[in-house]
Each structure stands twice: as structure tokens, then as C-alpha cells.
Amino acid sequence: MVHNSCYLISYDTMPQAQALEWCRNAGGYLAAVTSEEETDALRLHFDSRDLWIDGTDVVTEGEWLLQTWERLTYVGFVAPQPDGGTNGNCIFIERDHVGDRSCLTNAQGIVCEQDINN
């Protein structure tokens, strides 16, 4: 649990749009990773596979938004990321970095998030 959220990691392979739907069907949303603390905590719980998290710059290149259309102020990219240009519009997380790639490609899993009501 980080920031009053719990997480579900699935190793089902799918493109980003399917990942969004998968998380909704599980009662949550694609994880909105908004801090280095959250990134580090998540990395402790999965292997080296690439997993979709929330974030896209499909509307305006370089302006990363959540599915709620909120602007992401923290993304966690490490050089040379983001490196997808206009083809890499969705964010994924791996054990050692956060990157961008085409939303249409399959990631090796997804991270869903659900808020915990106090």
C-alpha cells in the first residue's frame, strides 16, 4: 500500500487500451504512478517484465496526462527515456526504469490501482 492505494499486478499480455479496460473490470484503474516513492515501492513487487501504468502524451507530444486528463507532474523517466517520439505515447514500468512505447504494442503485464477508503 502506497498513498492510500492498493495495487494488483497481472502478467496478462495486452495493449494499453485493453489494460485500461482490464483494470476497470477488476474494480480499479491503470496505476497512476505520481512519485518516486510509489515507483520504488512498486518495483519491489514484480520481476523484470514491462508493465503498463497510466500516462499518455497522445494529445500533445511531451505533455503526459492520466486517463482522468490530469497532467502528470512526475513520470520517472530515466535517460534516454522518453524515446518513442510521436510513436511512443504510453508509459510502462520495468524493474530498472520507466519508459514510453506505442500504446498498440503488448506489454508483458499491467499494474492496476484502487483507492482505499479510510
CATH topology of domain 5-115: Mannose-Binding Protein A; Chain A (3.10.100)
Spatial separation of the C-alpha atoms in residues 83 and 67, rounded to whole Å: 21
pLDDT digits (tens, 9 = 90+) for 57-116: 999 999 999 999 999 988 888 888 888 778 889 999 988 889 999 999 999 999 999 988
The domains of the chain are located at 5-115
User: How many CB atoms neighbour CB 4 within 10 A?
Assistant: 9
- Give the pTM: 0.89
Distance, CA of 30 to CA of 79 (rounded, Å): 24
Work out the average pLDDT over 42-50.
84
- Largest separation between any pair of C-alpha atoms in the chain: 40
> Mind listing the pLDDT tens digit for each residue in 9-36?
999 999 999 999 999 999 999 999 999 9
DSSP conformational letter for 116: P
